[in-house]
Each structure stands twice: as C-alpha cells, then as structure tokens.
Amino acid sequence: MMKPLRLLLLSAAVAAFALGAGTARALACGNSAGYSYLHMRVPSHGYGISARIAGPDVFDILNGHTAGFVGVGGPGQGPRGSNEWLQVGYAGFPSITGGDIYYEIARPGSFPAYHQVSSGVTVDRYTKVTVLEMYGRPSYWRVWVNHRPVSRPIFLPESRGLKLIARSESWDGGTGGACNDFSYRFRDLAIARAPGGDWEPITDAIYPIQST
C-alpha cells in the first residue's frame, strides 16, 4: 500500500513526548501551511535512530492527520537541496479507530510514498520502530518494527550526515487552523553509532516546540 501521507486526509496539534518520566506537551494549531510539530532534535549525527512509541492517549483528529515517528533527513536535506527522508512510526486519521504503523520515503525528485505496515493499533501498545543504515552498504537503509525488517533496502543518495529526528506532527488538512487533540509517547530513544547498529541511548536531546 503506497499513498502520500501529506495528501491523505485533513489537522493541527496537542503533542506529547515522554522520555522516561519526563513529558513535554504543547498546544498549537499550525503555521500558514497547517502544520504543527513537537521536535526532539538529536545534537549529533548517527547511522540510525530507534524508539518505542505508543499511540495517542487523547485522540480527537478532526481533519488531516497526526503522526509520531523517528527518522532521518527532511525537507531540503537531500542532494542539492532536494527533499530526502525516511521515517517510521504511528499515523492517525479522522474517523479511524486506532492508528497505522507506517513508514514513508521521500527521495530526491520523487513524491513521498506512504507504506502501511499495520492498522488499528491500540493506543496503549508500545511499538519499537527503527531506521538504520545497513552494514557494508553505504546510503542503503532499512525500516524495522519490533526488531523485524519491514522494508527492502532503501537507497537514499548521499544520506550519510542527514539529521536524525524524533517528532510529533499534525496537519490541519487545509482547513485554516482546525485543531487536532492527541499525544504520542516516546521511550527508549537510541541512536546507532555505526552502520548496522552499535546503539547508544539518547541522553542529551532537547525538546523545542516549533510550528514550521
């Protein structure tokens, strides 16, 4: 199943990160493009990122979508300023019970592709999600869910050095500010210090709230 996540339905945000006992929470209804984010920026580069994520404990998606994910890359981070990213996590949509586990790929010059891994995941269930560069195959990545690969090798040109991220996202679907109400919980965040693994817990992350 492949669909562009950002064209799928119609949102804005209450978002929550939980790392251990700490929680950061924000209420926002999007920028001029209708997006709101709560970022956890990792201050150093790595070869992969992993977390356990649980779906929203508050769930009122009026329009668009919500998502909680980890990934690599982002808008303008690819070769010559192109869009390039790979992300995996939860997504929620209006009138749908539970959430999707999904991954999304954006390659330079191509539209983002949404891949559904599973659907109807309950809000109290933590799922381990990972993106990781493959050992011995520079710029090739795989997506893992609960310690199992769920994608084929994915080539991301010149992807070494891309930023690693953990993020909650909401989009208002072009409604001009309709607010979605949700929270995603993140635990056991770690980054890979080498292709294929060498995991290290994230202890120095920062949690800026942005609508960008």
Please write the tens of the pLDDT for every residue from 189-198.
999 999 998 9
When mean pLDDT is compared across 20-34, 85-99, 107-121, 160-174, the lowest value belongs to 20-34
Q: How far apart are CA 23 and CA 194, in angstroms?
A: 29
Amino acid letter for position 41: R
pLDDT attached to residue 52: 93
Higher pLDDT, 144 or 166: 144
Q: How far apart are CA 171 and CA 163, in angstroms?
A: 22
Mean pLDDT of the chain: 76
Taking a C-beta distance cutoff of 8 angstroms, is the pair 97, 120 a contact?
yes
Tokens at residue 24, please? 């950061």
The domain 2-210 having CATH identifier 2.60.40: the answer here is no
Percent of the chain with pLDDT over 70: 70
Q: What 3-state DSSP class applies to 7?
A: helix
5-47 pLDDT, tens digit per residue, is: 333 332 223 333 444 333 334 444 656 677 777 767 665 678 9
pTM of the model: 0.80
